[in-house]
A and B are shown apart, each in its own frame.
Chain A
Amino acid sequence: MAVLINGQTRLLVQGLTGREGTFHARQAAEYGTAVVGGVTPGKGGGKHEGWPVFDTVESAVRATGADASVIFVPPAGAADAVMEAADAGLGLIVCVTEGIPTLDMVRALDFIRGRACRLIGPNCPGLISAGQAKAGIIPGHICQEGNVGIVSKSGTLTYEAIHQLTRLGLGQTTCIGIGGDPLIGTSFVDALQLFEQDDETHAVVLIGEIGGRAEEDAAAFIRESVSKPVVGFIAGQTAPPGRRMGHAGAIISGGQGTASEKITELASAGVTVVKSPSGIGAAVAEALSGSGG
């Protein structure tokens, strides 16, 4: 089992005909994902790499029975693409696009509220269920099937964690990159809830970074509602306040969102917080042996 995406998922690619869209659609299909078509306004009716292309998500869903979408649309149109996917009834929407104006995301998130869909991202690497399917840009070959769930704000740190686990023989259920923007569709808490309910997931890795309060919220949730061992890492322990470290969300402002606050909260909720990302794999191995998992 896995969460959010699996071998049955029928995936649509919004922005399929672009360079990124094409490359990652091919990668997803090679990994075994059922990629069923693409949407590029103005190119509907044609074919791209063998996949049918549609002008709207609505017509694509009608023709292909898609139930999920991954978005590689440029920033100016990305929020609209999210709303279009939600309106067409897709249950899972993964937005990889980086650099969407904040006010566009405010509107898109308002639009999808109350609709039956889950948005991952934006500005995220997407997700992968090991051995089954992927939507986004996480390299498939570093994953291995197993019992560890990963949720992370950062892309390459996620790969780092996956790689370490795989090398130690610890496979994964699903790895979710939720993105480092201030406004995102799926939070740590949402992902933790999914992993807690998933029988196959025996332990969770949570990778956070400075800025915001998502890690503190996660700590509160773990304390109350997570029975599985959680291993955490927080990036940006040495970042200076007031500077934006790459991700739009990664900024310490007014003394809030510091790494040490987050680490303290997580540790007090029972999370094993490692100081260096190199320690993630070993900490998971120990947590699993301790829990009998």
Chain B
Amino acid sequence: MKIHEYQGKALLARYGVAVPQGEAVFSASEAAEVAERLGGRVVLKAQIHAGGRGKGGGVRFAEGAVETARIAAEMLGMTLVTAQTGASGRRVSRLLIEEGLEIENELYLGILIDRSRQRPLVMASAAGGVDIEQVALDTPELIHRLHIEPGIGLTAFQARRLAEAVGLKGEVARHAATFVQRVYEAFLETDASLVEINPLVVTETGAVLALDAKVSLDDSAAFRQPEFGDLRDPEEEETLEIEASRHGLNYIRLDGTIGCLVNGAGLAMATMDVIKLAGGEPANFLDVGGGANPDQIRSAFRILLSDERVKAVLVNIFGGILRCDILAEGVIAAVAELGIGVPVVIRMEGTNVEAGKRMLRDSGLSFTTVDEMDEGARLVVELANGV
């Protein structure tokens, strides 16, 4: 789960990580108040779950309450398009107002789990403030990597060596080492999957601060991190995706016209692939899970069909744990209740498949059933195209 910059900074600050003074606001008048309190030059930062904000006009500067209010009014409600938002962009409804700082040096710090080494990886670079993925491609030697032994953690000497490696010396290096250790502690304690501070800055007075913070949290840890719920921003998520997760369904909206209802993530991805191979475009990814019940199937249909771009639906189920007769029951109930107006192609295989097919046939509803996935894809693409 992604969270906003201001939320990430608040989490980090709790572990003693220095961040600029500032506050999140939802209106121009609040922005003016905060600017007044901070005094001097302030920076206004649009809070959306995507990077590259600077180039799209999502980061601006102002002096004093009046100018801050004027710029805040321009920014709030705007649709910000960045390299990471996609063409449709994101609506800005929160701003972070922060003190302007005199910066001497911009560095990079990132912590994540290295899946191949199966342990936390701390990355630091003197090349901060720029696209770090580009740095990694062009000049990988500028990124210093340190794998952490889970039982030991990030030691003081490792933190000092990292500070030295990015070119810091003396008192500033000592501050930076402490800073890195605190960020690591925050990473562990908040069950983060990513903490990225780009840039990490050294000010003219030698202070070390997180000028930006990108924090992602591990959804699987929500049961022991009660705050996760409050940090979620529904405006950043598709309504249908939220609705789906409430029913234990995994749904991702895409741009096509063919609705997919599948059990299992791998099979769901493969179903999207065969639709594309057959010349169609999937409208969504939808995994009903291994043990879906008739209620979930009904919810899945409702969610699929609330996307008005859907012209036909392909159901692809391999009944292992989920039996085909249970699936058929769910599909029939859903179609009867919702009165589905688009063609539905059903491909099912596995446990009790004959009983399932018989139920579909006897239901009097107009399904098309097929035996093979490729055949199903071909047919659903034809139907969606109105052939």
Contacts and interface: CB of A to CB of B under 8 A. Distances in A.
Interface of A: 75-76, 99-103, 105-107, 109-110, 125, 137-139, 141-142, 152-160, 163, 180, 182-183, 207, 209-210, 212-213, 217, 233, 235-240, 242-243, 245-250, 254-255, 259, 275-278
Q: Secondary structure at chain B's binding surface: helix, strand, loop or mixed?
A: mixed
B266 interface: yes
B242 interface: no
Nearest to B148: A106
Highest count of chain B CB atoms <10 Å: which of A106, A238, A245: A238
A77 to B, nearest CB: 11
B246 interface: no
A109 B149 CA distance: 11
B130 interface: no
B274 A278 contact: yes
A105 B250 CA distance: 23
Q: Which 4 A-B pairs have the closest CB atoms?
A: A154-B266, A246-B265, A156-B264, A101-B221
Given A209-B266, A233-B270, A254-B133, A102 B350 contact: no
A103 B218 contact: yes
Contacts of A276: 270, 273-274, 277, 373-374
Nearest to A242: B84
Given A102-B221, A236-B272, A245-B269, 18 more contacts: A75-B223, A101-B221, A106-B119, A106-B120, A106-B150, A154-B264, A154-B266, A157-B264, A157-B270, A159-B320, A160-B373, A163-B318, A235-B273, A237-B276, A243-B252, A243-B285, A275-B273, A278-B374
Interface string B275-297: 11100001001010010000000
Nearest to B323: A139
A99 B252 CA distance: 19
B276 A238 contact: yes
B242 to A, nearest CB: 15
Interface string B140-169: 000000000111000000000000000000
A278 to B, nearest CB: 5
A163 B351 contact: no
Interface in B315-353: 318, 320-321, 349-351
A240 B267 contact: no
Interface stretch (B17-25, B91-99, B110-118): B110-118
Contacts of B270: 154, 157, 160, 233, 235-236, 276-277
B185 interface: no
Nearest to B263: A156
A156 B373 CA distance: 13
A213 B264 CA distance: 21
A277 B266 CA distance: 10
Contact of B150 (A110, A207, A237): A110
Contacts of A213: 115-116
Highest count of chain B CB atoms <10 Å: which of A103, A183, A245: A103
Given A101-B218, A139-B321, A163 B118 contact: no
Given A110-B151, A142-B320, A163-B318, A275 B191 contact: no
Contacts of A141: 351
Contacts of B122: none
Given A103-B191, A278-B274, A159 B318 contact: yes
Contacts of A109: 118
A156 B374 contact: no
B7 interface: no
Contacts of B265: 154, 180, 209, 245-247, 250
A238 B272 contact: yes
A76 B221 CA distance: 8
Contacts of B282: 238
B375 to A, nearest CB: 8
12 contacts: A76-B223, A101-B220, A103-B218, A154-B266, A154-B270, A155-B264, A157-B267, A180-B266, A209-B266, A246-B285, A254-B133, A276-B277
Contacts of B285: 239, 243, 245-246
A102 B113 contact: yes
Contacts of A207: 266
B307 interface: no
Given A106-B150, A245-B252, A250-B265, A75 B220 contact: yes
B369 to A, nearest CB: 16
Given A183-B113, A246-B285, A250-B265, A236 B220 contact: no
A106 B276 contact: no
A224 B163 CA distance: 40
A277 to B, nearest CB: 5
Contacts of A182: 113, 115
B330 to A, nearest CB: 16
